[in-house]
Structure 1
Amino acid sequence: MNNVTLALEGAWKVLTVGLLLGAGLPALFAVGIRWLAYGAGGDAEVSHERGHPIGKLGAVIVFALVLGGVALGITTIVAAGVGKKVSYEHIVPVLVDKH
């Protein structure tokens, strides 16, 4: 019975990360597109108002977060291929040798 508990505990962790990265990053990208439309204004908006600079700033921030997530994922995959791993020991991700 202990093996089932351990397997379910691992499954929940995988499910959580899968939802965050599998659905979270595309949802965040969609929020960035919405902010970009708010910044552009005109025909990009239903109300046809003028564009807002805060919309462009928000879009840049959201797109930077998405690009950071993608870059971190690629770094993790490549690091595993060259015998390293990504460590989050000091909050900032750092490549370290596998032990």
Structure 2
Amino acid sequence: MSTILTSISPIWKVLLVGLVLGAGLPALFAFGIRASAGTVGPDGTTAAPEPAGRAIAAVSFVVVALVVVAAIVVLASTKAFLAKFGLS
């Protein structure tokens, strides 16, 4: 029984990372798109987005970009680290 619990315990970490990166980042990006969208009036005219919406959108886009850049850096540095020791 303890062998099963030992092998199952890391699954929550994988699930958490999958939820954050697999569903969280696209949801954050969509939230930024929605925040930067203007409003459409009943007669079809459009209004520019509010400054607060633009600020929210900018922050969400910066967070998504930083996570993507960090993931690329981690992947690149891991491969370089392994290659340095001849393990790749």
Q: Decide: shared fold, TM above 0.5.
A: yes
Report the equivalent of 1:53.
51
Q: Which residue of structure 1 aligns with residue 7 of structure 2?
A: 7
Q: What corresponds to 1:33 in structure 2? A: 33
Moved segments of 4+, more than 4 Å: 46-50
The letter for the 1-side match of 2:68 is V
Q: Which residue of the partner structure matches residue 89 of structure 1?
A: none
TM-score of the superposed pair, with normalisation by structure 2: 0.78
Percent same amino acid at aligned positions? 40
- Answer 1 or 2: higher relative contact order, Cα 8 Å, separation at least 6: 2
| Aligned Cα root-mean-square deviation (Å) | 1.6
Aligned residues: 78
Any unmatched runs of 5+ in structure 1? 85-99
